[in-house]
Each structure stands twice: as structure tokens, then as C-alpha cells.
């Protein structure tokens, strides 16, 4: 897909992007709205039902990059009004990611999402009902990922989670609860291991979060 060796120090990010196939300025099938040119690989797939809806469907900001085999899942926004996917400007989603907007998904500007990451805004109800989980209703809750965050390769974000601006999710982590801005979380389930240097002081919940880290480590 790329021309040239991207590890070559003579290749800058700017001319590396220029080596990619041309960006699209019109939405392909299944995507409702583009705010500007975006790079969408031919192998990106969309699973959805219902009529196109520029206000409630899949909306991509300027310069979004969706690499090979990314899967966008919306469901049917006509039946489930909470279903939508909003990707901000310059969001990069690497190869093989599964991105669910069934319960609502907002990814703000300049977010990096590593290869084979799963973002899940819907799940299956497991308590009560039928013993066979596949026969039970789905559950939904929105996911929100703040500006400039980075989700490492192979991580998973579960329904109802908010990840703060500038936060880092370590590779392979499973995020089951909210992550403060500029926090670094790792593990399954993910735990806060600290904050990005030079940014933690900007977090209004810094002291509260430090106390939470102490409690988590005590009971680990």
C-alpha cells in the first residue's frame, strides 16, 4: 500500500501521506457524510440498515484515515436513535479495527487508534432472561474518546466508557471504566499506571485520581 520505506529518516510524515492512494471527497456506500477529503481503504466495510441520514448516521471529519479491513457497525438508526458514529478531524484508525456505533460513538479530533482495536458501544444482556445469551436483548451505552488520545494496538473499549483527552491506552488493554485526561492505563481490566509527563497537572481530577490509584494498588 505504501511506496518507499517509511522507516527511512528522509521520509517525513508529510510525504509519507502523499504516497498513499488518493483521498476521497465523497462518501462511499454506507457512510453518510464527509466534512472534507478522507482516506478510506477499499477494504473498509460498513454494516448498517435503514436509509442514509447525514445527521444521525456515520459522519467523518476532515482528513480521517481508515486503513485496510476497518469495520464500521451502525445497526439501524431508524429503530435505535442512539446509533451514530462521529469521527473528528484527522482521526486515524489502523488496520483491522472493529468500530461499533450501535450505542453511540464520538471520537474527537486527532485520535490515534492502533491496529486490531475493538470499540464496542453495544453488548448482550447476561442476567435474567434466556439461558442462551444470543436470545437476550442487546444492551447499549455510548462511548466517547477525547481529543488527542491514543488507543494502543489490540485494545478494547467497552460500552459506556469515556476516555479523556490525551489519554493513552496500552496495547492489549481492556477498558471497562472511564479514563481521565492524560492518564496512562494498561491491563485487563485496565488500571491507571500514571499520567503523561508534562500534562498531568492540567487534569482537574489529578489528586482524586492519585487516591484512586493508591486504592487500586492496595487491592491488587
Catalytic residues: 124
Label residue 15 exposed, middle or buried (CB < 10 Å: 0-12, 13-18, 19+). exposed
Specify whether the CB–CB gap between 88 and 65 falls below 8 A.
Answer: no
- Report the alpha-carbon distance of residue 52 to residue 31 in Å, rounded: 8
- Report the alpha-carbon distance of residue 12 to residue 15 in Å, rounded: 6
In total, the chain counts a number of residues equal to 220
Please give the torsion angle defined by the CA atoms of residues 82, 157, 62 and 84, in that order, rounded to the nearest 10 degrees. Answer: -10
Cell numbers describing residue 91 = 482521526
Q: Is the peptide bond before 159 cis (omega within 30 degrees of 0)?
A: no
Torsion angles phi and psi, residue 135, rounded to 5 = -90, -10
Amino acid at each position: 500500500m505504501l511506496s518507499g520505506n517509511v522507516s527511512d529518516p528522509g521520509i517525513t510524515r508529510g510525504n509519507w501521506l502523499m504516497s498513499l492512494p488518493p483521498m476521497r471527497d465523497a462518501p462511499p456506500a454506507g457512510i453518510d457524510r464527509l466534512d472534507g477529503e478522507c482516506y478510506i481503504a477499499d477494504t473498509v466495510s460498513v454494516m448498517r440498515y435503514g436509509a442514509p441520514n447525514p445527521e444521525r448516521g456515520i459522519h467523518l471529519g476532515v482528513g480521517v484515515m481508515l486503513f485496510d479491513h476497518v469495520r464500521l457497525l451502525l445497526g439501524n438508526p431508524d429503530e435505535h436513535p442512539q446509533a451514530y458514529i462521529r469521527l473528528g478531524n484527522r482521526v486515524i484508525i489502523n488496520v483491522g479495527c472493529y468500530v461499533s456505533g450501535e450505542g453511540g460513538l464520538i471520537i474527537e479530533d486527532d485520535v490515534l487508534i492502533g491496529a486490531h482495536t475493538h470499540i464496542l458501544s453495544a453488548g448482550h444482556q447476561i442476567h435474567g432472561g434466556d439461558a442462551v445469551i444470543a436470545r437476550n436483548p442487546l444492551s447499549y451505552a455510548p462511548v466517547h474518546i477525547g481529543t488527542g488520545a491514543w488507543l494502543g494496538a489490540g485494545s478494547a473499549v467497552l460500552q459506556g466508557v469515556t476516555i479523556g483527552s490525551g489519554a493513552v491506552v496500552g496495547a492489549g488493554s481492556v477498558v471497562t471504566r472511564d479514563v481521565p485526561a492524560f492518564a496512562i492505563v494498561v491491563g485487563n481490566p485496565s488500571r491507571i499506571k500514571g499520567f503523561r509527563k508534562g500534562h498531568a497537572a492540567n487534569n482537574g481530577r489529578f489528586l482524586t485520581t492519585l487516591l484512586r490509584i493508591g486504592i487500586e494498588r492496595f487491592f491488587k
